[in-house]
Amino acid sequence: MADHVNYYIIKKRALPEVFLKVVEAKHLIEKEKAMTIQDAVDAVGISRSSFYKYKDCIFPFYEHTRGSVITVAMKIDDEPGVLASVINAIAAFKANILTIHQSIPINGVADISLSVEILPNTGEVQELINEIETFEGIHQIKILARE
C-alpha cells in the first residue's frame, strides 16, 4: 500500500525557526548557482543535517509560483532560422516560452505572438527586446502586455 501524502498550509509564525532557515538556505542555493550547501547553511545558521532532514519537506507558498508573463507581438520574415534566432535569444536570457502563435505568412511576412515567462534569473527584458530588434528578418517587435 502506497504512502498517502498530506499537505497543510501553516502560517509562517507557527513554523519552527529551523524550517524557515531551510527555506532560506534553499533560496540562497537557487539564486547563487555556485554556492555550496555548506555555504548556504552557514549563512542561515543551521547544520547540514537539519538542511538535509527537512529540505524535501518544506516549500514556500507563492501566489505566483514562477514569474511574470509578457506578451510580445512581432512581424518577421517567413524564412528558415528567423523564428529560431528569436527563440534562442529568449532561452539565452533564461526566459521560458509559454505559447507561440503564428499567422499564415502574407507576402513573406508572418505575425507572431509569444507569451514569455520572466523568471527570477531572466535577464533584463528591454535588453532582450533590443537584441531581437537587431536580428535580420525582424520587422517589428513590441511588448503588448505584462502580467
Name residues of the chain where pLDDT drops below 70.
1-3, 33-34, 61-66
Cβ neighbours for 94, distance < 8 A, ≥ 6 positions apart: 119, 121, 122, 123
Specify the pLDDT at position 62.
53
Residues of the chain with CATH 3.30.70.260: 68-146
Cβ count near 111 (within 10 Å): 16
Q: Which CATH architecture has domain 68-146?
A: 2-Layer Sandwich (3.30)
Predicted confidence at residue 57, as pLDDT, reads: 86
147/139 Cα distance (integer angstroms) = 25
Tell me if 87 sits within 8 A of 138, measured CB to CB. Answer: no
pLDDT digits (tens, 9 = 90+) for 17-34: 999 999 888 888 877 765
| pLDDT value of residue 64 | 46
